[in-house]
Amino acid sequence: MASARFALLLIAASAVPALGSEPLPLSRDEFKMYRHYKVAIEDPRVQKMKPESRNAAIAKDAKYKLKDLVAVIAKGDEAGDLKAICEKNLKEALEGTDLKGRLGKLEADLTEEHGVAYVQWMNEKQEALPIEASVAAATAVAACPVVSTVQVWAMDKANPKARVFQGLIGASSAANIKVDKAKDFAVTRYMRLFEKVKSVSNGDDLSGELGEAKATGP
């Protein structure tokens, strides 16, 4: 029991995003507006309009203020590859936690207004799953704040094709997770913030949820 408690303390203590992550120039709401614009500007009906009239038409249809949309377009166009920035930040931040060396798929899907971050890791101790999931979600949304949802799942390190945990969490809920309190509240509070949770630690059957994780790092 003492060794398990020590392992949980190590997870929480090391669950601090890595320093030096590249800041994103857009907020979540601005990102949604920018993605809406990027889709709308390709609409054939918009393309038929005069170029100088397109932004105003998009703003009116979406009930945006034109000046806000114009500002967001400028920020988004200058931002560069948001997906690459987010995924770089995810890797750096999560490698600053106890999940380092056990990370699998780390991806940001920013093709839609509702961006999604995907975080996969390999689990060694089932009792640590709630803490690891909480740390992964909170770290991910801090590293890539434009996403609206974080999807997390864990594979059994001893059997990398066996999934042992999965869940979804909204970005605003993930932002309420305090990583330094994960050891205390992951089970009693933070797990309640997740949706569609399945965990072998709860007795759930994930035998039909197959996949393979490849650890990163040494």
Residue 164 CA from chain centroid, whole number: 19
Rg (C-alpha) for the chain, rounded Å, is 20
Q: What is the Cα–Cα distance from 218 to 208, expressed in whole angstroms?
A: 30
Q: Look at residues 88, 86, 139, 95 and name the one whose alpha carbon lies nearest to residue 116.
A: 86
pLDDT band (50, 70, 90) for residue 10: very low
CB contact burial 34-57 (16+ within 10 A = b; e otherwise): bbbbeebeeeeebeeeeeeebbeb
pLDDT in tens, 137-162: 999 999 999 999 999 999 999 988 89
Q: Look at residues 178, 166, 172 and name the one whose alpha carbon lies nearest to residue 15.
A: 178
Query: Is residue 12 pLDDT above 60, yes or no?
Result: no
Q: How far is CA 68 from CA 11, 35, 37, 55, 59, in A?
A: 42, 14, 12, 11, 9
Whole-number average pLDDT of the chain: 87
pLDDT band (50, 70, 90) for residue 210: low
Q: What percent of the chain has pLDDT over 70?
A: 86
Q: What is the mean pLDDT of residues 111-135?
A: 96
Report pTM: 0.84
Phi, psi (degrees; rounded to nearest 5) at 198: -130, 135
138 in Cβ contact with 178 (< 8 Å) = yes
36 in Cβ contact with 42 (< 8 Å) = no
Q: Are strands 159-170 and 195-199 parallel, antiparallel or unpaired?
A: antiparallel
Residue 23 CA from chain centroid, whole number: 15
Reading the block at residue 84, the tokens are 């690459």
